[in-house]
Structure 1
């Protein structure tokens, strides 16, 4: 029979195994269940991810576009009627540059040439918002 009047001694109680309790520090951040966006997936090697086949922009973390900014800028300068903007997918801007160039008998091509320089020097994006390579 059990004696309920006797108080148990705390030193006689069995202690639980500390490894079965999980992390001891409750403020320690737990790792996310998935890799961060743009991180290489397991089995693909360093620097390659199927979500970003051309790499990731180090400043914004967005994957690079499949278009190149040098190609867009050179097309915009050499063919100054919106061809570079057609290449990047900005069809509305490209049609506007084409119409301005046609209606001004070529003088409006200055807009396209300046836009080509901005494409080469700046940080242009494609129609999806991804930075050009």
Structure 2
């Protein structure tokens, strides 16, 4: 386990990238249930994508579902500052 620093208060991943204060599980659940409104994307700070999902109803649900699955399974999802989402 790494020691938190001011630059990475939640630690760093094995590649040395700092962890976000945001959780990929929370983002995935928000996207799964409220993805047609872009809730998971708003949560992680991807406002442009969130607005796209909002105005297309999450790609009629398909875009929202795929995005939720990617939040749950991917280890490379980042927040607005480029920090890796915590698991």
**Given the alignment, which residue of 121, 126, 129 partners 2:79?**
126
Contact 1:72/1:119, CA 8 A, preserved across alignment: yes
TM-score if structure 1 supplies the norm length?
0.58
CA distance in 1, matches of 2:13, 2:19: 6
Aligned length: 83
Helix, strand or coil for the counterpart of 2:35?
Answer: coil
Which structure's relative contact order is higher, taking Cα pairs within 8 Å and 6+ residues apart?
A: 2
SS at match of 1:67: strand
Question: Hey, which of these two has a bigger chunk of helix by percent?
Answer: 2
Which structure's residues are more often strand, by fraction?
A: 2
Map of 1:115 onto structure 2: 67
| Residue ranges of structure 1 left out of the alignment (5+ in a row) | 1-45
* Greater gyration radius: 1
RMSD value, Cα: 1.6
What is the correspondence of 1:94-109 to structure 2 with a 5 Å cutoff? 94-101=50-57, 108-109=60-61
- Please point out which of 51, 55, 67 is paired with 2:11: 55
What are the superposed Cα offsets for residues 37-67 of structure 1, whole Å, 9 maximum, x if unpaired?
xxxxxxxxx72322211011112x1110110
State whether residues 53 and 59 of structure 2, in contact with CA within 8 Å, keep that contact through their aligned partners in structure 1: no
Q: CA distance change for structure 1 residues 47 and 96 in 2, over 3 Å: closer, same or farther?
A: same
TM score, norm. by length of structure 2:
0.86
Is 2:18–2:83's contact at 8 Å kept on the other side of the alignment? yes
